[in-house]
Structure 1
Amino acid sequence: QRLLSANDVVSAVPDPEMPYVTLGDLGVVGAVRVDEDARSVRVELTPTYLGCPATEVIQQDVKTALLDAGWQSVAIELRFDPPWTPERITRQGRAKLAAEGIAPPAGRTGSKGTDPAPVFVTLGRAPAEVRCPRCGAAQTDLISAFGPAPCQELRRCATCREPFPAIKRASR
């Protein structure tokens, strides 16, 4: 029996807090090392947020998906260096977030094989431009630095007046 690609399986696991995006879309999947003879796999994950309450669920979901795909031994390691940044979100992930009414951070998109320089998320003043995912207006106001998930903030569009969650942007 041919095993499904461990990387494909892990990358397709939905995020438990935002199930419309996958771990691959969010760029949290690091190295995936396999030993096909032993049917074992070791996965490195970088959570989006140091205190992310979904980390344990993510680990269990990844393990379950790999076991269901035929892998017999699964080891998962959390990596925090280099830290995750919103720049790791793929183009597809950004499109999925926007389709759900969540403003993805502006900036370059993640790409395989490159680790962006570490950046820090500020909890103070919000960046000047976060586009509204509903009408596309550039002028939005911060309502709260804390949103439905620790990696999100709440904003309101100055044009359509609709509130929306936005992925917190990293500051340099």
Structure 2
Amino acid sequence: MVTAVLSDTDLRRRAWEVAAQVVDPEIPVLTIADLGVLRDVRVRDGRVEVAITPTYSGCPAMNMIALEIELALERAGIGRPTIRTVLSPAWTTDWMSEDGRNKLRAYGIAPPQASSSRRALFGEQQVSCPQCGSGNTELLSEFGSTSCKALWRCKACREPFDYFKCH
């Protein structure tokens, strides 16, 4: 429980620190800050408001993420926040942190390529295998273990892997 009265700036900073540690329920090695889903934290009239952006419209993880943010902030003594879902601008893989990309790779998921690349724009992707690093890979299915991932296979090590889709 927070016993001292915090300034709005300190409350905002503390709320961001706590919310940033909430993990994505579909990819538990990533925090919502790594993923770029946590967009903003504000304090209005002494109450915390947290803005989150889904990785795509209809993402089933968003309700769980909102609940986990509420619980984390309450446990930290900050109180129950208002959670606001922001759809514009739409989430992009460009918002994912470099640390988040590295965590994906270590977890066995190929991180997204830069979405502004010509290959990503025209669908000519070369995805590196997160297991062996080979670029000799093939798309098996546009749909992976979750809607934001595609299923690929490495032709070098023959291992299947998820690729986090660019958008």
Q: Under TM normalisation by the shorter chain, which class is it?
A: 0.7 to 0.9
1:13 corresponding residue in structure 2? 22
The structure number with the bigger radius of gyration is 2
Aligned letter for 2:90?
A: P
Q: 1:22-171 to 2 correspondence within 5 Å?
A: 22-35=31-44, 38=46, 40-107=47-114, 126-170=123-167
2:8 corresponding residue in structure 1? none
Question: Residues 53 and 85 of structure 2 are in contact (CA less than 8 Å); yes or no, is this contact kept in structure 1?
Answer: yes
Aligned letter for 1:12?
A: Q
Q: Deviations over 1:81-112 (max 9, x none)?
A: 0000111110110011000000001228xxxx
TM-score by length of 1: 0.83
Q: Secondary structure at the match of 1:92?
A: helix
**RMSD (Å), alpha carbons:** 2.1
TM-score by length of 2: 0.85
By percentage of residues, which structure has more helix? 2
| CA distance in 2: counterparts of 1:149 and 1:127, whole angstroms | 22
Aligned residues: percent identity? 43
Q: Deviations over 1:128-158 (max 9, x none)?
A: 2111001111121111101111100000012
| CA distance in 1: counterparts of 2:112 and 2:124, whole angstroms | 10
Q: Which runs of 5+ in 2 are unaligned?
A: 5-10
Aligned residues between the structures: 155
Q: Which runs of 5+ in 1 are unaligned?
A: 109-115
